[in-house]
């Protein structure tokens, strides 16, 4: 203790809580503006779910889309968002659309940050949609560019959750985004990173947020902020009590966020000082293949198979964008199964993150295999005649190329993942199930983070229950409620919006 302050206490211009893509964008822009900035991360590793991600950033109308000659524009993105969400949240939508191109230009002005456009269709058929997609991704980052910072970046989900992948491989996707932002922020000389600082409380003076209280392995410390505190510490997907309180289906065991990270600490802390919340029952949903350890693997991009509910019937177009398939799954009778045949040698005809090991699943009973459909139906507890009817009807659709029930294969998103080279019929999304043995993989409702949270305005200021801003307090990413409401417009909206609102937050702090 020095001068009444404990070891670890400090004063900075800006405090950023969390270390995902939004947090590090906020830290980088603040530090690049000359503000003394500290990043506080609960775990020993930086990046959170953002490090696990594909790092698609839905940032429309930027120089990256222009370089790719896509014909994307802010106007087209505005038309698309208006068609999907209406004018609720219009001020935040406009702030997002206006700032996205500026932000990308600014980030790419730093030699550490480079993006490119990558095809991945927008998720909903509506005016302004880009069928090939408009999201941008960071270029891979060689490990040596990061030097000593490398050990701070959270491993990819395949490695973190199931020990797969090589630790020395170049940083790709979410790790590349985190690595690049971290590199750029630390090179400013104005950003400090403190890991193992779990922020649990907000300090206030005369109604203004002036700092935070954080638990560290060495005790509790207080850090004060001259300009503001940005909360970008994920949602509350990892906390079953908060999920139950707000009616969020699924469960902490099935979320794709890293274990023991996003448990709503900052939501609780902000609510305690009068912050308002909205959209609290929402999440960025996805189907999950249940894994032998009880967790879930994000499942998307089906190349074959079909999905049945507890009655043995299909209930949706299985090729739907994952958030929409997740919503269909939430509404379906449990249990749901992805039923497939041996066309791919017993492998799941879908992408799973982390990848699935068929032998482990079969041994654990999370997948079952049978020589006939009636036997498979018995294993998964659905009526045998219903499953047989479902498969026969589906195989009929595969022969004609038309899914009269759920229209699978009619949308560019459906076809994006289909195996068009080896399609047995006229519609590559409708692949018959006719090669025994048959398999069924248990599906659960997983998520990529909760989507409701603190109410914010167009400057990312946290709003109080009285409707006015809480001075000194800002939020971005899944700590805040998304202006996109109950729709997931396209790949990269969680991260793209987190980055933009984090940057707007620090810009407002400095005014």
> Which residues are CB-contacts of 2 (< 8 A; sequence separation ≥ 6)?
none
The closest of 448, 37, 497, 101 to 230, measured between CA atoms, is 37
The residue within the footprint of ligand FAD, chosen from 19, 162, 210, 352 (CB under 6 A), is 19
Total residues contacting ligand FAD (rule CB under 6 A)? 45
Residue of 112, 199, 387, 433 interacting with ligand FAD (CB under 6 A) = 199
Give 34-52 as a DSSP string.
Answer: T--EEEE-SSSSB-HHHHH
Contact 152, 46 (CB under 8 A): yes
- Candidates 344, 492, 500, 507: give the one binding ligand FAD (CB under 6 A): 492
C-alpha atoms less than 13 angstroms from C-alpha of 435 in its C-beta half-sphere: 13
Q: Quick check: helix, strand or coil at residue 441?
A: strand
Instruction: List the one residue from 367, 494, 499, 501 that touches ligand FAD (CB under 6 A).
Output: 494
Check binding of 179 to ligand FAD (CB under 6 A). Answer: no
Does residue number 296 form part of the binding site for ligand FAD (CB under 6 A)? no
The CB-side HSE value for 469 (13 A sphere, CA atoms) comes to 17
Q: Which residue, 198 or 361, has its beta carbon nearer to ligand FAD? A: 198
Min separation Cβ 480 and ligand FAD, Å? 8
**Looking at the DSSP assignment, which residues form a beta bridge with residue 14?**
37, 228
Specify the residue for token string 């199964």: 337
CB-nearer residue toward ligand FAD: 391 or 487: 487
Residue 412 has a CB neighbour count (10 Å cut-off) of 14
Does position 185 bind ligand FAD by CB under 6 A? Answer: no
In the bound complex, what is the minimum distance in angstroms from residue 502's beta carbon to ligand FAD?
8
List, in sequence order, every residue forming a beta bridge with 39; answer none if it has no partner.
16, 193
Q: What is the nearest approach in angstroms of ligand FAD to the Cβ of residue 446?
A: 9
Whole-number Å distance between alpha carbons of 20 and 199 = 15
Site string for ligand FAD, 48-87 (x = CB under 6 A): xxx-xxxxx-------------------------------
CA-angle at 463, arms to 458 and 467, nearest 5°: 105
Among 65, 172, 478, 484, binds ligand FAD (CB under 6 A): 478
Give me the 226-265 binding string for ligand FAD, x by CB under 6 A, dash otherwise: ------xxx---------------------xx---xx--x
Instruction: Out of 12, 14, 42, 133, point to the residue binding ligand FAD (CB under 6 A).
Output: 42
Contact 288, 254 (CB under 8 A): yes
Report the SS3 class of residue 95. Answer: helix
Crossing angle (nearest 10°) for helices 90-108 and 74-85: 150
Contact 183, 112 (CB under 8 A): yes
Site track for ligand FAD across 143-162, x = CB under 6 A: --------------x-----
Least distance in Å: CB of 141 to ligand FAD? 16
Return the residues of window 353-382 that contact ligand FAD according to CB under 6 A: 353
Q: Residue numbers of the site for ligand FAD (CB under 6 A)?
A: 17-23, 40-43, 48-50, 52-56, 157, 198-199, 232-234, 256-257, 261-262, 265-266, 284, 298, 353, 448-449, 477-478, 491-496, 498
């Amino acid at each position: 203790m020095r001068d009444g302050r404990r070891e670890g206490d400090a004063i900075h211009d800006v405090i950023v809580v969390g270390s995902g893509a939004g947090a590090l964008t906020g830290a980088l822009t603040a530090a690049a503006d000359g503000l003394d900035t500290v990043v506080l991360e609960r775990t020993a590793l930086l990046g959170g779910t953002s490090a696990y991600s594909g790092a698609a950033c839905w940032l429309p109308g930027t120089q990256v889309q222009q370089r790719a000659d896509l014909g994307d524009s802010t106007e087209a993105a505005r038309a698309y968002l208006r068609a999907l969400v209406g004018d609720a949240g219009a001020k935040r939508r406009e702030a997002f659309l206006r700032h996205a191109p500026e932000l990308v230009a600014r980030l790419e002005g730093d030699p550490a940050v480079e993006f490119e456009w990558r095809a991945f269709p927008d998720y909903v058929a509506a005016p302004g949609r880009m069928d090939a997609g408009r999201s941008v991704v960071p270029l891979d980052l060689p490990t040596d560019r990061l030097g000593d910072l490398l050990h701070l970046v959270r491993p990819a989900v395949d490695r973190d959750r199931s020990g797969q992948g090589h630790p020395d491989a170049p940083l790709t996707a979410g790790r590349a985004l985190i690595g690049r932002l971290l590199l750029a922020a630390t090179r400013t000389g104005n950003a400090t990173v403190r890991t193992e600082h779990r922020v649990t409380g907000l300090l206030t003076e005369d109604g203004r947020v002036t700092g935070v209280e954080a638990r560290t392995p060495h005790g509790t410390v207080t850090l004060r902020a001259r300009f503001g505190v940005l909360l970008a510490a994920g949602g509350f997907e990892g906390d079953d009590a908060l999920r139950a309180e707000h009616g969020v289906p699924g469960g902490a065991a099935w979320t794709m966020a890293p274990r023991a990270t996003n448990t709503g600490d900052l939501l609780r802390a902000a609510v305690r000082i009068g912050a308002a919340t909205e959209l609290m029952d929402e999440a960025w949903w996805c189907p999950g293949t249940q894994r032998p350890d009880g967790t879930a693997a994000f499942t998307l991009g089906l190349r074959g198979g079909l999905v049945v509910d507890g009655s043995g019937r299909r209930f949706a177009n299985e090729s739907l964008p994952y958030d929409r398939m997740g919503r269909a799954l939430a509404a379906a009778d449990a249990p749901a199964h992805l039923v497939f045949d041996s066309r791919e040698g017993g492998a799941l005809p879908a992408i799973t993150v982390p990848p699935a090991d068929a032998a482990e699943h079969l041994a654990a009973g999370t997948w079952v295999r049978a020589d006939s459909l009636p036997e498979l139906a018995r294993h998964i507890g659905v009526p045998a005649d219903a499953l047989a009817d479902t498969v026969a009807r589906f195989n009929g659709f595969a022969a004609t190329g038309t899914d009269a029930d759920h229209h699978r294969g009619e949308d560019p998103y459906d076809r994006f993942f289909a195996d068009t080279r080896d399609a047995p019929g006229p519609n590559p999304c409708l692949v018959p199930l006719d090669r025994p043995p048959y398999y069924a993989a248990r599906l659960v409702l997983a998520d990529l983070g909760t989507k409701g949270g603190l109410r914010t305005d167009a400057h990312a200021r946290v709003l109080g229950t009285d409707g006015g801003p809480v001075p000194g307090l800002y939020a971005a990413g899944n700590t805040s409620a998304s202006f996109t409401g109950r729709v997931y417009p396209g790949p990269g909206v969680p991260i793209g919006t987190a980055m933009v609102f984090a940057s707007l937050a620090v810009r407002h702090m400095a005014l």
